[in-house]
């Protein structure tokens, strides 16, 4: 059992950098392309996948905020520049949850994808491998956002997961 856990950890650590770099590109395209403009309709809800991704991102951001508050309260605010960048990236993961009912949701999901990828790369081989599944999930959400117009035209799976139809 221990060998399997080590193998999975090693596999995720190997995927950290390539998946992170790909996520930065996909997130940047998503954030720029989905900036709200005049007359932009509200973003479509892509169901359970998007809700899970945004919920996990919000939970990670909450834990990051709790850790930041704990660091400040215990008066240990020794913040090297990369630690500050990591903290900012973790805090930014909450943007999709805050923008859930707004026109900014697609852009916020793109920015969150960039930030979770940067956090995974910065944390590298310590905890970075644990961010890889979330990075992959956010890439999936970005692809749903980017190609959602094509799915609407074909009548694809754009309906809500909990809808009776």
pLDDT digit string, tens, across residues 72-115: 888 776 778 888 888 899 999 999 999 988 889 989 999 999 99
Query: Which residues constitute the domain of residue 19?
Result: 2-33+48-147
Q: Is the pTM of this model over 0.85?
A: no
- Asked whether residue 22 is assigned to any structural domain, the reply reads yes
- Asked whether residue 14 is assigned to any structural domain, the reply reads yes
pLDDT, tens digit, for every residue of 16-54? 899 999 999 999 999 999 888 877 778 778 889 999 999
Provide the number of structural domains found in the chain: 1
- Asked whether residue 121 is assigned to any structural domain, the reply reads yes
pLDDT, tens digit, for every residue of 108-145? 999 999 999 999 999 887 888 899 999 999 999 999 98
13 and 129 in contact (C-beta within 8 Å)? yes
Alpha helices for the chain (secondary structure H): 2-33, 48-73, 81-92, 95-98, 105-123, 128-146, 148-154
Confidence of residue 164 (pLDDT cuts 50, 70, 90): low
């Amino acid at each position: 059992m221990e060998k399997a856990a080590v193998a999975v950890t090693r596999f995720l650590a190997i995927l950290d950098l390539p998946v992170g770099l790909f996520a930065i590109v996909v997130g940047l395209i998503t954030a720029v392309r989905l900036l709200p403009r005049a007359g932009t309709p509200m973003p479509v809800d892509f169901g359970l996948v998007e809700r899970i991704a945004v919920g996990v991102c919000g939970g990670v951001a909450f834990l990051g905020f709790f850790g930041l508050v704990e660091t400040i309260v215990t008066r240990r605010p020794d913040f090297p520049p990369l630690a500050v960048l990591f903290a900012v990236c973790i805090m930014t993961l909450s943007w999709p949850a805050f923008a859930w009912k707004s026109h900014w949701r697609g852009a916020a999901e793109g920015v969150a994808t960039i930030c979770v990828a940067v956090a995974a790369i910065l944390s590298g081989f310590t905890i970075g491998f644990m961010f890889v599944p979330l990075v992959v999930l956010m890439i999936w959400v970005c692809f749903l956002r980017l190609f959602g117009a094509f799915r609407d035209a074909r009548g694809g799976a754009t309906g809500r997961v909990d809808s009776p139809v």
